[in-house]
Structure 1
Amino acid sequence: MSQPTERTYLLIPHDEEGHSIKSKEAAELGQTSIGERLTYNDYSTIDWLHCLVKDSYRFRALHLRHGLRASIDQTVDACSGWIAVSLIGMIMAFVAVGIDMSVATVAGLKYGYCSGNPFVSREACCEFVHSAEGHCDRFRLWSDKYWAQFGIYVGWAVLFGIISSSVTMFSKTALPAVGPEARTNGHDPSNGNGYGQGKALYMSAGSGIPEIKTILSGFVIPHYLDFKILVLKAIGAVFAVATGMSLGKEGPFIHIAACVGQQVANRFEKYRDNAGKWREILSAACAAGLSSAFGAPIGGVLFAYEEICVHFPRKVLWRTFLCSMVAAITLKALNPHGTGKVILFETNYGTSYRPEHYFTFVMLGIAGGLWGGTFTMANLKWARWFRNTRLIKGRPVLEVFCVIMVTAALQFPNPVTRAPGVEIIKNLLVNCATNKDNWVCRNEARTDGRWDYFAWLAYGTLGQLASTTITFGLKVPAGIIIPALVGGALFGRLVGQFVTTISPGIFAMVGAGAFLAGVGRMTISLCVIMFELTGELEYSIPHMIAILVAKWTADAISKESVYDLAQSVLGHPFLDTEHALQLIQHEPSSIVQSILPPPSTMAELTIEVPNNNKVSRKVLETHLAYLHRRGLMDGGVVLTQKGVLQGYIAEPELEYGLNTLGKGLNDDQDIRLLGDAEEDEYDLSNFVDRTPITITNTAPMEYAVEIFGKLGIRYLCVTEEGSGRLVGFVIKKRLLIYLDGLKHE
């Protein structure tokens, strides 16, 4: 196994362009006695169906008891989910306010300091004290000279970026991998179980949304939601946003909320001991993250449903709704913006659109879709080129330094883009009929042609889109939501200069939603988020038009959203049943037989159990070694008698039964796998799944996709049509590898 690198692919092998390939040697390996090796070794899979059964047994045991204590325990158990999500909502709101206030204070240092209290933000410093000219006297600029201001601005931005990236470096970790190669590459096995180190991952970098989607789909990324990562992500996000780079804190807020969700869920035994139930709480936490970032509680719920979660039953929907609501209530009570409202970009245009404006809304949607469709490809090409240059390769902090220098040089000269992202959006969405004291409105009130103002808007649009393209993917906490909104608002305000019948702020608002729809491919959730961000319910139809057109346009260019691309590039396993079925439809005849392991693999992973239903420890140890050698962390061994399937025992249970419970047994000791145990027998039959889900080898591949996707199972046993004889079994990862091969054909 190769040394871990940040570019390690966990899908089937890739070429330098990122396309999946299968070498001749790899193909031949599957036909040898050595057999094939599955990828995705860094991720183990949960079984939603087993989690459901496990919780049902727990529920029955709890409700079989009688008496006062039993009634109290049952009531607490019934309320535990609601209590947990309420706590998550409140805690996340406090964390969000702390990060927001810290960002405002740190970002203000790029311009000057508050003479009364240098530890408060510019807004807080100037809240009540202004001069007659409308300027704040308490906030002192570092210098009155342009070039001195420029140098200080860039210097602080570079310092903040280095701090953020350096903090992110502390979150670098190697995920576990199975196999002797991990032990022979200089890595120490963990816990003595033969697991070594696999893919390197910067856990606090990026938005975290691709990783959260992977976790919620049923895969495990160890330690990704630990308290340490929460702290590193929060600190890194403060300094990253303060740099002024084209990134936002909204994506990181979802990761931070998931970390909060884990800390709270682990305090409840009901969720701590059940991976499926634990993910239900995590789904609610994600909604609280967006609710706290934007003050958009309903949008947060819909975002979790549309973009983040795979398993979302009605009970989870209700708890997610409560969690998001509590976060919004707490945010309103804390009043971080000083307005007493949760609306971030409140507007009141006082005019309505007319049918002739529909064409402009469609054009904004097309523009947003064109950028969203090309952004993913441009960002990927930039990353492959720039991060492979001799100077930058292996130096993520230096990459951040270079990008900040470029971003600051592009932003500072432009009065429109010099402010933080949230403030830029506020300025661009303003209605100049009611607010004259604004740089945008003062320029739009001019009667001298305003071509320099048009140039600033055009320059700001191009600069924002370019800087976003080179920023996304840096090793700092960073989201794409605010940068996309800023780019769309700039373009929309520019377009609004040529449509004088209504406020240009309306086009800025619709353009912001269109550009975010193009890059993120969100629809309903984004539409609701825009309502809640602006308070403008009247403009639902313009938003719907622009968002749908943007999605259609972007999909015509590239099927992958920015989050799908990140999952693919980072090698995170994720089963999207909708996209999977579209891929299979293009195959002339795709049946389950296509994804069966080769005969050499199945020979090593099948145990023919004698009539006495017992095998020796040595036999089981041998098959466990086969699993480790092939890297099948979430694989297992099938049990047959005369070729007929009798059961399945997973690798974790087999290893636990042999190396923990049966540590003192000798190699010749017989171990019962099937039937009823007798006295003094060592029995592992309780670990055997006697009712595995089965499918015939000639069944359409769509059956396998739906079974894995809808039931959330970990493995699927395959029998021969007609005879019922076992011919193999398939784990979820094998299906994903097959689908990835179709994607890149």
Structure 2
Amino acid sequence: MANIAKKVSWSSRAEESGVAGERTPLFNGSEQPRLSRQDSQRGRPKEIPHNEKLLSLKYESLDYDNIENQLFLEEERRMSYMGFRCLEISRWVVCGLIGFLTGLIACFIDIAVEELAGIKYQVVKQNIEKFTEVGGLSISLILWAVLNSSIVMLGAIIVAFFEPIAAGSGIPQIKCYLNGVKIPRVVRLKTLVVKVCGVICSVVGGLAVGKEGPMIHSGAVVAAGVSQGRSTSLKRDFKIFEYFRRDTEKRDFVSAGAAAGVSAAFGAPVGGVLFALEEGASFWNQMLTWRIFFASMISTFTLNFFLSIYHKNPGDLSNPGLINFGRFESDSVAYNLYEIPLFIMMGAIGGLLGALFNLLNYWLTIFRIRYVHRPCLQVMEAMLVAAVTATVSFTMIYFSNDCQPLGPEHTEEYPLQLFCADGEYNSMATAFFNTPERSVRSLFHNQPGTYNPLTLGLFTLTYFFLACWTYGLAVSAGVFIPSLLIGAAWGRLFGILLASITSSGSIWADPGKYALIGAAAQLGGIVRMTLSLTVIMVEATGNVTYGLPIMLVLMTAKIVGDYFVEGLYDIHIKLQSVPFLHLEAPATSHWLTAREVMGSPVTCLNRIEKVGTIVDILSNTSTNHNGFPVVVQVTGSDEPAKLCGLILRSQLIVLLKHKVFVELARSRLTQRKLQLKDFRDAYPRFPPIQSIHVSQDERECMMDLTEFMNATPYTVPQETSLPRVFKLFRALGLRHLVVVDDENRVVGLVTRKDLARYHLGKHGLEELQVAQT
């Protein structure tokens, strides 16, 4: 281990496994020393470690590998051909329900935002127009700031005090869930309600946020609930879809829900499928692709249909998503070959600005973790940001003298005249005094000359910092639309400058075209998506002409941005200390073997074990101990026990709850029969061992684990290299990987955190600390 550049002084390997809970010292570390009690008593400030330098023990893994015990095999053997066909039909039905409900939720959010924002803007607009003539515009500013702060306060309270996991877009949490990490409360019904109400308050409150990102989380929650046929929050069990009550099936439906959320947000069903593949699901198959595409199509159709009714045009399916970029006609957005280098340069600019955005947000998030962690402080910060956003917006509009004629074809929803002449409106108000979605559309499609360069430059600068400050607040909010809005502003500015410095620029340098490219560059520079974002942009614009330029822009933005800092979602995953497994093991890690990364010694159980022993093991080990190898010793032999299976803590708790004990009566073993239904009924919230009562007489009974354990667990030899262990673990979605010697004896256990501890840093292969955070 001497080649590892950065090591830790202590590491607890008692994570998902049955590994004994001692803290085993590693080799000499370069970690900064912890303060002793004497140091603390001397008044020295206690050092707060950076969260990205830790892996948290509070995150468990999900069981994405099916437990092929005797109960499972017997059920599969009894199931007829028609039974399998019915299950397949049920999967399609569930995906259809996911798409339908996700579309309904998106429709509700869109209508609520439009109605409430319309009321707010009309009130503020009338107030501004009233005081423009008689003076006292400060009252209009106070009204705008108070309205925004009050609405945002409501959204922040329900998030900070009732369901903190609903904060943000939820995309990092869903990525972790699909990667195999169990994020507490991430797919609860309560989380969905808070997410929906919170995002409405955030957008109506005027924050620099969008409602599209949270739709991905909302769709995932819908999928998790519908596929299980019950709600643990409501304590209702509808007795349907019981077969799908396991992590493997639930994972596939959550992937469909995430894709349906993207489809509803952008009207991009193909983009939704690719998003689930690129950014979400860690495991994929061909049939899953068709079902996810079906859910995405149903989602966008449902939203389209009900919005057509809301707009009093039933059957006019012209609103496929929450955001409508508008049509880019082929003749107006045509580009020339010599413009491709300009597009690539814009991609590099987007990568640089995205890296700056992510870096600033990283520092800000560190500050919030340290000092703004109480709910009351989080609500106050959200209110402060809302008030500052309103003040900055008002100030920018007030001092702007960018007046444009208000023609009959104007698309501005709430034009402000302020100090402009009659028949004119303030152009800065088009960008600030509107919902972000409408502002993006105006930057894409308003006629050349609608904005002057100073307006676009100031708007880009101020909105960049406002969006950076806003992301990470204790509110439900997304970063997609703010990123598009920032990029569209500086992209349009780029087009205007091109037109001004070239004699024929006014002919080919259409500002709307460059606004689209700038929007793609900025979004790609922040979130670092390529394939799915290309298709989303193409579908949202309704024009495939810009497929190649957008792809080149996104690839350039990703390459340039990754050189400086990671993508925004990856940063927040690290800051939450989540043991996320990437596609490949760290480079230069082939010299590490399973013996060096595994946890040991391992707590094993005999195939026929005493009940009291099992209770004591479950009670005395941490709840993070979730897998126990089962061993058997040959009768009459002095050979050590050998591996014969693996059983989970959750299975043992169900067995104890149902008193599945072996009684020695008349030299005959009798045992109560359990079915998989008993385990599915307890899923996913298995009771703690402290709630299971076992009498003293029952402690003397025996428990036969043969029928319930996974008799064919995956194993690797001790000398297996880390990349091979990683590939096996990641590709199969394992939770435990048993390490055995040449005689099939258990010597260790590899779990997610044993692998996630290693990553490639600036000084070579580095090892993170595992701690209870």
TM bucket normalised to smaller: 0.7 to 0.9
**Which residue is 1:647 aligned to?**
645
**Which residue is 1:128 aligned to?**
none
Is 1:461 aligned to residue 460 of structure 2? yes
- Give the Cα–Cα distance (whole angstroms) in 2 for the partners of residues 20 and 483 of structure 1: 37
* Deviation readout 1:445-469 (Å, 9 max, x if unpaired): xxxxxxxx21111111111111111
- Give the Cα–Cα distance (whole angstroms) in 2 for the partners of residues 670 and 396 of structure 1: 63
Instruction: Determine if contact 1:514/1:546 at 8 Å carries over to the other structure.
Output: yes
1:705 CA displacement: 0.7
- Give the Cα–Cα distance (whole angstroms) in 1 for the partners of residues 543 and 654 of structure 2: 58
- Give the Cα–Cα distance (whole angstroms) in 1 for the partners of residues 68 and 290 of structure 2: 19
2:726 is matched by which residue type in structure 1?
V
Shifted more, 346-355 versus 334-343: the winner is 334-343
- Give the Cα–Cα distance (whole angstroms) in 2 for the partners of residues 391 and 693 of structure 1: 41
**Which residue is 1:148 aligned to?**
139
Name structure 1 gaps, 5 residues minimum. 1-18, 65-70, 115-121, 123-138, 173-201, 433-440, 445-452, 674-679
Map of 1:247-396 to 2, 5 A cutoff?
247-267=209-229, 268-335=240-307, 338=311, 340-342=317-319, 344-349=324-329, 350-351=331-332, 352-385=334-367, 388-389=370-371, 395-396=377-378
Shifted more, 260-269 versus 491-500: the winner is 260-269
Secondary structure (helix, strand or coil) at the match of 1:645 reads: strand
- Give the Cα–Cα distance (whole angstroms) in 2 for the partners of residues 595 and 391 of structure 1: 34
**Which residue is 1:428 aligned to?**
443
Q: 1:539 aligns with which of 518, 543, 546?
A: 546
- Give the Cα–Cα distance (whole angstroms) in 1 for the partners of residues 703 and 192 of structure 2: 44
Size of the alignment, in residue pairs?
A: 626
1:389 CA displacement: 4.8
- Give the Cα–Cα distance (whole angstroms) in 2 for the partners of residues 220 and 369 of structure 1: 32
**Which residue is 2:613 aligned to?**
619
1:572 is matched by which residue type in structure 2?
V
Q: 1:527 to 1:391 in 2, by over 3 A?
A: closer
Q: 1:567 aligns with which of 559, 573, 585?
A: 573
1:111 CA displacement: 2.3
The sequence identity of aligned pairs, in percent, is 28
1:430 is matched by which residue type in structure 2?
H
Q: 1:144 to 1:297 in 2, by over 3 A?
A: farther
Q: 1:548 aligns with which of 555, 576, 596?
A: 555
**Which residue is 2:418 aligned to?**
none
1:46 CA displacement: 2.8
- Give the Cα–Cα distance (whole angstroms) in 2 for the partners of residues 308 and 620 of structure 1: 37
* Deviation readout 1:85-135 (Å, 9 max, x if unpaired): 112212211211111111112222332259xxxxxxx9xxxxxxxxxxxxx
- Give the Cα–Cα distance (whole angstroms) in 1 for the partners of residues 517 and 74 of structure 2: 51
- Give the Cα–Cα distance (whole angstroms) in 2 for the partners of residues 735 and 81 of structure 1: 33
**Which residue is 1:589 aligned to?**
591
2:327 is matched by which residue type in structure 1?
T
**Which residue is 2:517 aligned to?**
510
2:115 is matched by which residue type in structure 1?
T
1:60 CA displacement: 4.0
**Which residue is 1:180 aligned to?**
none
- Give the Cα–Cα distance (whole angstroms) in 2 for the partners of residues 223 and 509 of structure 1: 37
Secondary structure (helix, strand or coil) at the match of 1:48 reads: coil
1:374 CA displacement: 2.6
1:48 CA displacement: 2.4
* Deviation readout 1:515-548 (Å, 9 max, x if unpaired): 1111111111111111111122111222122111
- Give the Cα–Cα distance (whole angstroms) in 2 for the partners of residues 369 and 397 of structure 1: 32
**Which residue is 1:727 aligned to?**
747
2:162 is matched by which residue type in structure 1?
S
Instruction: Determine if contact 2:642/2:743 at 8 Å carries over to the other structure.
Output: no
Instruction: Give the TM-score normalised by structure 2.
Output: 0.75
**Which residue is 1:136 aligned to?**
none
Secondary structure (helix, strand or coil) at the match of 2:644 reads: strand
**Which residue is 1:693 aligned to?**
714
- Give the Cα–Cα distance (whole angstroms) in 1 for the partners of residues 244 and 142 of structure 2: 51
1:153 CA displacement: 1.8
- Give the Cα–Cα distance (whole angstroms) in 2 for the partners of residues 588 and 76 of structure 1: 46
**Which residue is 1:636 aligned to?**
628
Instruction: Determine if contact 1:254/1:287 at 8 Å carries over to the other structure.
Output: yes
2:79 is matched by which residue type in structure 1?
L
**Which residue is 1:167 aligned to?**
158
Q: 1:672 to 1:590 in 2, by over 3 A?
A: farther
Q: 1:97 to 1:24 in 2, by over 3 A?
A: closer
Instruction: Give the TM-score normalised by structure 1.
Output: 0.77
**Which residue is 1:46 aligned to?**
62
- Give the Cα–Cα distance (whole angstroms) in 2 for the partners of residues 342 and 58 of structure 1: 46
* Deviation readout 1:544-594 (Å, 9 max, x if unpaired): 221111011011112x2111111111223322223xx2x2x2336111111
- Give the Cα–Cα distance (whole angstroms) in 2 for the partners of residues 51 and 24 of structure 1: 33
Supply the RMSD in Å over aligned alpha carbons.
Answer: 3.4
Secondary structure (helix, strand or coil) at the match of 1:276 reads: helix
Q: 1:519 to 1:34 in 2, by over 3 A?
A: closer
Shifted more, 161-170 versus 55-64: the winner is 55-64
Shifted more, 48-57 versus 307-316: the winner is 48-57
- Give the Cα–Cα distance (whole angstroms) in 2 for the partners of residues 281 and 534 of structure 1: 28
1:645 CA displacement: 2.0
Instruction: Determine if contact 2:589/2:723 at 8 Å carries over to the other structure.
Output: no
Q: 2:200 aligns with which of 238, 241, 244?
A: 238
1:264 CA displacement: 1.7
Between the two structures, name the one with larger relative contact order (CA 8 Å, sep ≥ 6).
2
Instruction: Determine if contact 1:671/1:681 at 8 Å carries over to the other structure.
Output: no
Secondary structure (helix, strand or coil) at the match of 1:497 reads: helix
**Which residue is 1:63 aligned to?**
80
Shifted more, 407-416 versus 478-487: the winner is 407-416
- Give the Cα–Cα distance (whole angstroms) in 2 for the partners of residues 210 and 671 of structure 1: 50
2:64 is matched by which residue type in structure 1?
W
1:411 is matched by which residue type in structure 2?
S
2:160 is matched by which residue type in structure 1?
M
Instruction: Determine if contact 1:627/1:636 at 8 Å carries over to the other structure.
Output: no
Is 1:22 aligned to residue 8 of structure 2? yes
**Which residue is 1:158 aligned to?**
149
Instruction: Determine if contact 1:672/1:683 at 8 Å carries over to the other structure.
Output: no
**Which residue is 2:421 aligned to?**
none
1:729 CA displacement: 1.6
* Deviation readout 1:465-485 (Å, 9 max, x if unpaired): 111111111111011111110
